[in-house]
Structure 1
């Protein structure tokens, strides 16, 4: 004998009862109460509104302002020389912008130095500035700065022969600054000569922190870690010439050896990793940009 399957009898689904029962209940209730037709419509509309899904508006994401990074201007003096190529390789691999202050005589001192100069000119994120032609008449600093005209002519010769794309200079053996209102001369006897450079149209940039080296062994005196401590301290104590801007002086010739090259690379990596600093070219130093 055939027995009907309960499923074949068209048993209403649970979904039907969940939607229909409230309406039936209200309708019966209203009829029992003999409510006017207008009131019935209002109540039914209210029931339908409560059945509509609630759509939540997406919450607005509040973006935190980007942290302003302090700027570091890494500069190298006295090139091109035997350490310049190593420095160039390191900064290119680490992808940081740096500035080289070039001595005119060194460019023409040998075939190798001329080739290094050509490499510097073609490199990306490298800025080339004037560090005199004779390096203060071959390190005779006192005599050199006693003759303002000689100082100006020495800088002009490098400018005329190397054709740098800017008028930024650094005085050999002197930490001096002439950038708009920023005037500083470490050795006062040199003031007249430094002033003459500014009067001739040059922008003079010194340094906030020097990476010292042993003049006999040409090895750095401070590790990358020690330099990092000094950098943090100078920023925290406001000892830079201009707030949140730090110029570091280093010398190409020091980085011809593997250990010193390692320290340079390590310092760059530590500064990048900290997230507090960014590297920049000296043409972007406050007050210089509008002088170019």
Structure 2
């Protein structure tokens, strides 16, 4: 009986192999199709660029909350990575207004810019010009067309994917149907408005000593200023407050600790929500700029 079973198995195996062989010989298609599939899997097509705002939606504001937009200017500088690490560790959002000239001046500058750009929606990359008015504020803002090109160049060099900007050294605002600017910067602000930009000023500044870039206010003092601005309705938009700070303020460990302490103080208030400026009320809806 075992011999009979073995023979049947052998005959069955020969039959299966013969059928498979006939299929391959008769058409040749199965083999070539399989080879094409393997080749395709080994060399996948280059993926299309991903729109970081593909799923962007206007924020549904909670009337019981107060919204805070923590912004960092002038990066990438010493201190930028510390700001990113601190915000990420504490789970809060922030917006980084970056300067193309500073990105090129640092060996890892463009890598830092990319890290922030790729970290949306936790972090927002925004435009703070190419040169940061290196020729002087008055001359910079009087040369309107050149200044417009300065922002356009930064947009392209940093691959800023949406038109969000802040003017160097000036608090000006552009939103949907609104422009607020001093006489010096008004022509440039109007030019950016016509080009589709949102422009952001600030309500509270975390000041720094210009000799050593150290923060001026303590975390507790800055919190008191935030609380007061909300209480007195001294913000550009009610219940929404933009804080200006600068990356280089936090390059020292003790100053990085102050940033962490301030954020933790904000988080202790259940009414405070930290957001990125692309969710500031009344702005022109972000439009993705592929590069």
Say yes or no: TM over 0.5: yes
1:228 equivalenced with 2:205 (yes/no) = no
Quote the residue 1:70 is aligned against.
Answer: 66
Say which of 146, 149, 155 aligns to 2:151.
155
1:117 equivalenced with 2:113 (yes/no) = yes
Quote the residue 2:130 is aligned against.
Answer: 133
Q: Deviations over 1:46-69 (max 9, x none)?
A: xxxxxxxxxxxxxxxxxxxx8721
Residue 67 of structure 2 contacts residue 241 of structure 2 at CA under 8 Å; is this kept in 1? yes
For residues 278 and 82 of structure 2, the distance between their equivalents in structure 1, rounded to whole angstroms, comes to 23
Residue 198 of structure 2 contacts residue 284 of structure 2 at CA under 8 Å; is this kept in 1? no
Q: 1:139 to 1:213 in 2, by over 3 A?
A: farther
After TM superposition, the score normalised by the length of structure 2 is: 0.74
Alpha-carbon shift at residue 115 of structure 1 (Å):
2.9
Q: 1:84 to 1:78 in 2, by over 3 A?
A: same
Quote the residue 1:253 is aligned against.
Answer: 248
Alpha-carbon shift at residue 180 of structure 1 (Å):
2.1
Say which of 94, 98, 110 aligns to 1:98.
94
For residues 232 and 110 of structure 1, the distance between their equivalents in structure 2, rounded to whole angstroms, comes to 37
Please give the secondary structure, in 1, of the residue aligned with 2:267.
Answer: helix
> What's the RMSD between the two structures over aligned residues?
1.5
Q: Deviations over 1:25-48 (max 9, x none)?
A: xxxxxxxxxxxxxxxxxxxxxxxx
For residues 202 and 122 of structure 1, the distance between their equivalents in structure 2, rounded to whole angstroms, comes to 21
Q: Deviations over 1:226-248 (max 9, x none)?
A: 01100010001001000110000
Quote the residue 2:257 is aligned against.
Answer: 262
Q: Deviations over 1:93-117 (max 9, x none)?
A: 0010100001011112121223322
Residue 83 of structure 1 contacts residue 256 of structure 1 at CA under 8 Å; is this kept in 2? yes
Please give the secondary structure, in 2, of the residue aligned with 1:217.
Answer: coil
Alpha-carbon shift at residue 179 of structure 1 (Å):
0.9
After TM superposition, the score normalised by the length of structure 1 is: 0.74
Superposed, which structure 2 residues align to 1:143-292 within 5 Å?
Answer: 143-185=139-181, 187-288=182-283, 290-292=285-287
Q: Deviations over 1:121-180 (max 9, x none)?
A: 3335010000001111x1610000001101110000011222212101100011111112
For residues 256 and 188 of structure 2, the distance between their equivalents in structure 1, rounded to whole angstroms, comes to 35
* Unaligned segments of structure 2, at least 5 residues: 1-61
For residues 123 and 286 of structure 2, the distance between their equivalents in structure 1, rounded to whole angstroms, comes to 19
For residues 135 and 90 of structure 2, the distance between their equivalents in structure 1, rounded to whole angstroms, comes to 33
More helix by proportion, 1 or 2? 1
Please give the secondary structure, in 2, of the residue aligned with 1:290.
Answer: coil
Alpha-carbon shift at residue 210 of structure 1 (Å):
0.8
